[in-house]
Amino acid sequence: MSRPLRSNFPRGSYLWAVRNAQWQVLGIPEEDCEKPKIAIVNSSSGLAACFSHLDGIVPVLKDAIRAAGGVSFEIRTAAPSDFVVAPGAKGAYMLVSRDLVTNDIEVAVEGALLDGMVCLTSCDKTVPGQLMAAGRLNIPTLMVACGYQPSGQYKGQHVDIEDVFVGAMHAQMGHLPMEDLIGMSREAIKGPGVCSGLGTANSMHIVCEALGMALPGTTPVAANSPQMFEAVRLAGQRIVQMVQEDLKPRDIMTAEAFANAVRSILSVGGSINCIKHLQAIATESECDVDVYGLFNRLAQDTPVLSAIRPVGDRFIEEYEAAGGARATLKQLESLLDRDVMTVTGQTLGQNLSGVRVADEDVIRPMSRPVANKPAIVLLRGSLAPDYGIVKTGIIERKSRQYTGPAICFSAADDAIAALQRQDIRPGHVVVMRGAGVTGGPGMGGGSSKVVFAIDGAGLGSDVALITDGHLSGLVCKGLVVAEVSPEGAVCGPLALVEDGDMISIDLDSQRCDLLVDEAVLAERKRHWTPPKKQFDKGWLQIYRRNVSSLAHGAVLIEPHASNRK
């Protein structure tokens, strides 16, 4: 090793001696103290299928790192699964766990001054949390997607976790027999891995490759498949080379790379949660790029090339077989910056040389897209001065304009109860507020449940919903404007809406407006009082007091002044 390693200390010094004392007990030979020291970031948990297989991957990765001339150290982080941690604090732990993952990594890897890391990435919050840490620490890092779960069948029909989520709300609205929901839940997941649709997890796995932070051709992948384990072995070999080359995340995650990642998500109609996660990664990487602006601008000329559930009827297995993220990037090649560096040590253009798309009906060429109109639209207007996000999907809507009276709620359960009483009627705009990064905190509040309950009540085509909360990446139903910013809890316009106020949504002009006289709103604002802080203790309090706006990705820097109280 010709390049000095930051993890090495003079032989016989205090730091060398105490480390040697610790490590020799762990079976690490003294000579290994001079080798590249690689963190294996294992966000493992026995709470959910998403993470249950990661411990079995670690030995394969350790062997590969050892064979390449490195020494590995496994570290652990929080491992949140939305479907499991959602009950606590009304879902507030879901987004805030992303930043906890980042800080877990900083403490272990930066504290020990390790030389590089391989991140075993799985469910949707661990992916951005690990990428944020890579950008913050800026040491050689490689992301390994650990795969999606196999789905099952119920009564002869495909069933996956999305169907169970939707079905649960349909059952609550009385439109699905309880025995069918129970039967679906028993068959939906047939093995470990992340949700099998193109939700946030698989979308963010694609982001890893599109950013250049994962090896080409490794996303998405079936969990525990031969392809996944081959990617693990190659990652163990490559990370040691990256340390030797001093190839760091900020060399890779440039403004141009973020633009490539944005196009990749637009082209598959991926999860809208990728927007705030990419912005958070850019913020932690100190990359001066407006991801929201990129989505808004690049959507105009980025066609939708794939129709994977929940956007379309294709399955993630078909997308992987057609070539996955690498094939998508190949089809988009003329729109991409091909000169960006990747973890291979080569440019994106070099990585794509000679790539062939295995099935152009699944991943189409730009000359024959699934849809020309974007599957993700950002709106602005008097109700969303910063942005609100709509996942329009690929189905052409009968009308792209909607105007109706507001009916307002501050809790998901109240909105669902109103649906059951039939207080929410065709033509309404359901306003869900207090579920933003500060008000939730962490965007907890169950907005996705309300979307599926509206669908279960048979109102999916007749009611719009506007919220400052976020949606599950599996949501693609009805007209929903999510993540409206500024949020209600900091007196964004959403806080001033009253029942009966007229709201206008126009997808073509990308507007979302509250049709109330400014003088009336000014008077309401004068009398507005902040909502009571929710779950104001522990980690949730730390997050609420320090979280930034969505414009910064809701990371723990540059907090709103109102949050500090």
Q: Is residue 367 part of a domain?
A: no
Co-location of 321 and 334 in the same domain: yes
Co-location of 115 and 86 in the same domain: yes
Measured CA distances, 146 to 18, 83, 124, 397 (Å)? 35, 18, 12, 36
Q: How far is CA 351 from the centre of its chain?
A: 25
Co-location of 112 and 130 in the same domain: yes
Co-location of 480 and 545 in the same domain: yes
Co-location of 142 and 184 in the same domain: no
Q: Which of 178, 181, 190 is nearest to 163 (CA)?
A: 181
Residue 110: both structure tokens together: 């930066």
Between CA 95 and CA 211 the distance in angstroms is 22
Q: Could you tell me the CATH number of the domain that includes residue 316?
A: 3.40.50.2300
Between CA 154 and CA 532 the distance in angstroms is 44
Q: What is the pLDDT of residue 398?
A: 65
Phi (first) and psi of residue 449, to 5 degrees: -60, -40
Co-location of 12 and 117 in the same domain: no
pLDDT one digit per residue (tens) for the chain, 565 residues: 467 999 999 999 999 999 999 999 999 999 898 999 999 999 999 999 999 999 999 999 999 999 999 999 999 999 999 989 989 998 899 999 999 999 999 999 999 999 999 999 999 999 999 999 999 999 999 999 999 999 999 999 999 999 999 999 999 999 999 999 999 999 999 999 999 999 999 999 999 999 999 999 999 999 999 999 999 999 999 999 999 999 999 999 999 999 999 999 999 999 999 999 999 999 999 999 999 999 999 999 999 999 999 999 999 999 999 999 999 999 999 999 999 999 999 999 999 999 999 999 999 999 999 998 899 999 999 999 999 999 988 776 667 899 999 999 999 999 999 999 999 999 999 999 999 999 999 998 788 999 999 999 999 999 999 999 998 877 778 899 999 999 999 999 999 999 999 999 999 999 999 999 999 999 999 999 998 888 888 999 999 999 999 999 999 976 544 454 4
Co-location of 100 and 226 in the same domain: yes
Q: Could you tell me the CATH number of the domain that includes residue 434?
A: 3.50.30.80
Q: Is residue 230 part of a domain?
A: yes
Q: Is residue 369 part of a domain?
A: no
Between CA 331 and CA 268 the distance in angstroms is 12
Residue 182: both structure tokens together: 């129970």
Residue 404 sits at the vertex; the CA angle it makes with 399 and 408, to the nearest 5 degrees, is 130
Co-location of 317 and 429 in the same domain: no
Co-location of 107 and 197 in the same domain: yes
Co-location of 335 and 203 in the same domain: yes
Distant-in-sequence, close-in-space partners of 166: CB < 8 Å, separation ≥ 6: 452, 455, 456, 477
Between CA 70 and CA 64 the distance in angstroms is 9
Active site residues: 472
Question: Residue written as tokens 């093995």?
Answer: 191
- State the sign of the Cα–Cα–Cα–Cα dihedral 41, 47, 53, 59: positive
Q: Is residue 247 part of a domain?
A: yes
Pairing assessment for the beta strands 152-154 and 157-159 based on DSSP bridges? antiparallel
Co-location of 6 and 98 in the same domain: no
> Are the CB atoms for 465 and 432 separated by under 8 Å?
yes
Which of 317, 352, 387 marks a domain boundary?
Answer: 352
Between CA 218 and CA 225 the distance in angstroms is 11
Pairing assessment for the beta strands 116-121 and 37-42 based on DSSP bridges? parallel
Pairing assessment for the beta strands 429-432 and 464-467 based on DSSP bridges? parallel
* Domain range enclosing 292: 35-150+191-352
Co-location of 267 and 229 in the same domain: yes
Our count of domains for the chain comes to 4
Torsion of CA 12, 13, 16, 19, to 10 degrees: 100
Q: What is the pLDDT of residue 560?
A: 47
